[in-house]
Structures are given as structure tokens and as C-alpha cells.
Amino acid sequence: MELNKKNIVVLTGAGISSESGLKTFRDADGLWEGHRVEDVATPEAFLENPELVYDFYNQRRRQLKEVKPNQAHLALAEFERNHNAKFTLITQNVDNLHELAHSQNIIHMHGELQKVRCMETDEVFPWTEDLDSDSVSPTTQKSGTLRPHICWFGEMPYHMVEIGDALRDADIFVAIGTSGLVYPAAGFVQMVSHHCYKVLINKDAANNNPLFHEVILGNATQEVPKFFQQS
């Protein structure tokens, strides 16, 4: 596949970070095996038991201090640096490994662990430490108004207009490390134009894999560098 001068859109999911030591959601021993999604990743859960939800994301945020980008994150960043056309990286991941790998044009559609949002003003702030109901908003100085800047089930993912534009213009769409079970991301492969070449790089056959022209089964750290070094 010739990648030169092509408008490329990449979508990443939890699978790209698993070899860095972060758990995926739905693999055996994944995050959703130990938790009910409804208890930790919905607006209702946060209303009912905010401390449990804060704690779930505090644990995830703390873990970021122990992990590093892997060969797949690094290969994407290197490819973007040398690419001579548009490159957009849409990620469902809330970790910061694409940033640490120095990717540039990153869209975090499900939010970021290292950001919090004020429920009163909608302002988003960088946040690297634990968060709880005593945490004080940097602008209003009030406590109890900050929540993780994470898109929960039942909420609209962020930056959807920008994502729609990027997908419509893509010549090549590459989904990496995602199970194809969570919409709208699972449907991006159907939002690209008819001329777009669609590739999936995933460890196991993803739910939506018949929609791709090419399916590469394997570990992201091996297959992503191979795919992006071929041009």
C-alpha cells in the first residue's frame, strides 16, 4: 500500500496501549471484567457513587506514571513527522501515550485521564493527581464541581464534527487495537468515502472486520511499524 501523499486517518483503541501495560476493556482480564460498566462509566454511576467513579479513574491516572509508549505509538508519531500529506490520529484511548510518543494531530474522542472538567462552567483543566469531591476548581474555587474529562456510556463523544470532516477526506483509514463494538467509533469505517482504503490491525478478528479491505491480525508493536514503514 502506497501511503505517500495520501490523506491518512488512524483510529486507535485500547489494544495499541496493551503492550505498554495498560489493560484493554474487553479482553480476558480486561477492565470491564472486574467492573460493571454501569457502576463506573456512566453519568448515573457518578451521581450515585461519585467516590467509586473518582477512584476508578484515579487508579487509571496513577498508572500513567508507570507506563511508556511502545513501538506502535512511536511508529505512528514517526510516520506523521515524515509524512507529506494530512495525517489525523483519532484515539478512543484516554491515556497519554500518543502524546508521550510525540504524535501531533491527536483527537481524543473519549476524553483524557489527565484532564478534568468543571460541571458548572464546562472548562477543561489539566490534572495529573487524584481527583475527588473535595478537589477545587481552579477558576471558581468551588469544590464538588470537577469530574473526569471522560466520555461515559450514554454521553456524546467529543470533537465529532472535526472527526466527520477528517473521515470524509481520508484516502486511507487504519483502525488499530479496537474491538469494533463501541459506537460511534466502530462505525467510522462506514463514514469514509467510497474511494477510501480501509485497514484493520488488531490482535483478534474485530466485530466489524468484514467492513475492511485488509485485516492484519497480530500485535500492534509488530504490525503497526511494519505497516507504516512500507511506503
User: Segment contacting ligand APR (CB under 6 A): 54-62, 98-106, 122-130, 171-179?
Assistant: 171-179
Q: Is 110 a catalytic residue?
A: yes
Among 69, 148, 177, 225, binds ligand APR (CB under 6 A): 177
- Measured CA to CA, the distance from residue 90 to residue 77 in angstroms comes to 13
Asked if 204 is part of the footprint of ligand APR (rule: CB under 6 A), the reply reads yes
Q: Would you say 138 or 218 has its CB closer to ligand APR?
A: 218
Which residues 6+ apart lie within 8 Å of 131 measured at CB? Answer: 54, 57, 58, 61, 116, 146, 148
C-alpha cell at 23: 489493560
Asked if 179 is part of the footprint of ligand APR (rule: CB under 6 A), the reply reads yes
Asked if 157 is part of the footprint of ligand APR (rule: CB under 6 A), the reply reads no
Asked if 90 is part of the footprint of ligand APR (rule: CB under 6 A), the reply reads no
Measured from each CB, the residue nearest to ligand APR is 15
Q: Would you say 171 or 223 has its CB closer to ligand APR?
A: 223
* Residue 190 C-beta-side C-alpha neighbours within 13 Å: 10
Q: Considering only CA atoms, which of 110, 98, 28 is closest in space to residue 64?
A: 98
Q: Considering only CA atoms, which of 33, 34, 35, 31 is closest in space to residue 14?
A: 31
Q: Considering only CA atoms, which of 108, 96, 100 is closest in space to residue 60?
A: 96
State the residues that interact with ligand APR by CB under 6 A: 13-15, 18-19, 24-27, 30, 92, 110, 177-179, 181-182, 202-204, 206, 219-220
